[in-house]
Chains A and B, each alone.
Chain A
């Protein structure tokens, strides 16, 4: 486990719970008892479950409100545009689930079947799961501490009947804490293709995103690339471009060079994106030829550098297509 501070001896080591740095750690007792060393049996169960899921992509950002859920939703829409591609969208933002609203599925409920929870299907090939489907009113607050949130994520990964899926997109809350660690740990044995990291151009956001990339490195999660959202704003009246979130430190481009991660693309700020999310409609349908829709599409589909190609190059062994 990599989420621990650098002076932690590690839960599996002989020093667990006994080192000098363990003093005062809330897990000291647990570690000393040796219970920390045993892996959660759910990891194996999830590995079994995930055998029918070809690609798993996490959408992350250290900063909130940069467009993770909007991007996740449009990644799902974009991939599901091919009706032969089965897409699953899982929202693990337990305290602030926005996916039901953005997908136009507010008020839907999850059904229980013999093989687990059934996701809510927006299209035949696009299934969605979110804690929002389990709440009885939109005012319901999920006031949960870490362990309960982790339990919910475990259930989402183990007990949802996704069926045969080409892409599982996991939308996360901001930060580098319980939800992120749990998703990565539970999926560890099942192999995650990687993480797409969303940022906005200003330094306040980039500084949190650098932390997120350092998190990915700590937990050995490959970074597929960075998407810069809300890059520029085109005034609907005078058509001139301006920057609402000025890239005072060079924006995502300079950060990507510094940290040697690919920049997948830039999406301009279009007021219609927010509006289509509010209405629960796909922006691809709302404004298919807008610069923002084209930017989204190129991030997903562009040859060699797009998310789709990245994943197909990393087909798990045994499913490799025959090459010429």
Chain B
């Protein structure tokens, strides 16, 4: 522990993964949450840092909204999601008095809070820290990448939906990664198809295949497609542990295989 104090609060964190997407609503927070749950099932200790300051969704998804952050000698204590304390979370959602309050901040204030999130949260020992970001390529992203650079993050998971409009934004996000020198672990295509609960017909609500094509075009790994599953949305809505409850869901194999690819990349 003596050595851990020296380089700050991230010293006990083995691997840092950023979850990015140029487009909003493609499932960054969903994928971040599910990835954390999947890694946890593999016996890892996971932290989630939510740097979406204007629209934090993860506290709700993990059903810990309304919890408060406490202060200790080492800094802010993250909120633990489960009894075993295997998933911890830090989000601006915990700092708001009212859940509907809008965080109407311009860039410099957002940057300052992100810096604080990176330096002042007492994560303790973690195998993985998943950093969930807002859409775009602006203040929050630059601040997070700058602040995390000394801790050499493993890379970025880029989330997209299959339609061309979304893929366009993600191409710009890949350019961002290249410009700031952040490795792309791979592309995840979310919400690929919808399996009708009445007749099991799979419809490509947002068309299909865009993510894979983009990965090929950009020369980055394609990690898999996660199909739309209303059970998944519902379980996240209600803040239940999706991975534990729905191993039979069509989305499940996709998620665990993505987690496995990351685990294989980072032998501990």
On A, residues with C-beta under 8 Å from B are 2-4, 24-27, 62-66, 69, 94-96, 98, 101-102, 138-147, 149, 173-178, 180-181, 200, 202-205, 207-208, 210-215, 218-219, 233, 235-238, 240, 242-246, 248, 269, 271, 274-275, 277-278
Contact = CB atoms under 8 A, between A and B. Distances in A.
B230 A246 contact: yes
A101 B164 CA distance: 8
A140 B196 CA distance: 38
B155 interface: no
Contacts of A2: 104
Contact of B24 (A64, A218, A219, A237): A64
Contacts of B164: 101, 277-278
A294 to B, nearest CB: 20
A173 B136 contact: yes
Main DSSP-derived SS at the A contact region: loop
A210 B93 CA distance: 14
13 contacts: A65-B161, A65-B166, A101-B168, A141-B176, A143-B142, A145-B107, A177-B107, A177-B110, A200-B25, A202-B237, A210-B100, A238-B196, A242-B230
Contacts of B230: 242-246
Given A141-B22, A178-B107, A235-B201, 11 more contacts: A62-B54, A64-B134, A98-B168, A139-B171, A139-B174, A143-B179, A174-B135, A177-B104, A207-B60, A208-B54, A240-B196
A24 B112 CA distance: 9
A29 to B, nearest CB: 12
Contacts of B102: 62, 176, 211-212, 214-215, 218
A175 B54 contact: yes
Contacts of B166: 65
A32 to B, nearest CB: 16
B205 A181 contact: no
Contacts of B169: 96, 98
A62 B236 CA distance: 19
A235 B205 CA distance: 10
A193 B248 CA distance: 49
B234 A274 contact: no
A145 B234 CA distance: 35
Contacts of A202: 233, 237
B22 A95 contact: yes
Given A211-B102, A269-B205, A65 B24 contact: yes
Given A62-B54, A177-B105, A211-B54, A244 B100 contact: no
Given A66-B25, A178-B107, A246-B233, A271 B60 contact: no
A95 B205 CA distance: 25
Given A144-B138, A235-B201, A235-B203, A278 B54 contact: no
B207 interface: yes
Interface string B206-240: 11000000000000000000001010011011100
Contacts of A243: 230
A243 B166 CA distance: 22
Contact of B238 (A141, A205, A248, A275): A248
B39 interface: no
Contacts, number: 221
B97 to A, nearest CB: 9
B109 A25 contact: yes
Contacts of A246: 230, 233-234, 237
Which A-B residue pairs are the 8 nearest by beta carbons?
A64-B24, A65-B25, A146-B107, A175-B54, A95-B136, A141-B175, A278-B164, A26-B108
Contacts of A278: 163-165, 207
Contacts of A145: 107, 138-139, 142
Contact of B137 (A142, A210, A213, A245): A142
Contacts of B104: 2-4, 176-177, 180-181, 215, 218-219
A228 B116 CA distance: 36
A238 B106 contact: no
Contacts of B45: none
Contacts of A238: 196, 198-199, 201
B174 to A, nearest CB: 7
A26 B165 CA distance: 36
Nearest to B143: A145
A246 to B, nearest CB: 5
B4 interface: no
A271 B203 contact: yes
Given A96-B23, A244-B230, A248-B234, A63 B100 contact: no
B194 A244 contact: yes
B197 interface: yes
B172 A142 contact: yes
A138 B194 contact: no
Contact of A141 (B109, B137, B207): B137
B205 A141 contact: no
Nearest to A245: B233
Contacts of B99: 207, 210
B100 to A, nearest CB: 4
A270 to B, nearest CB: 9
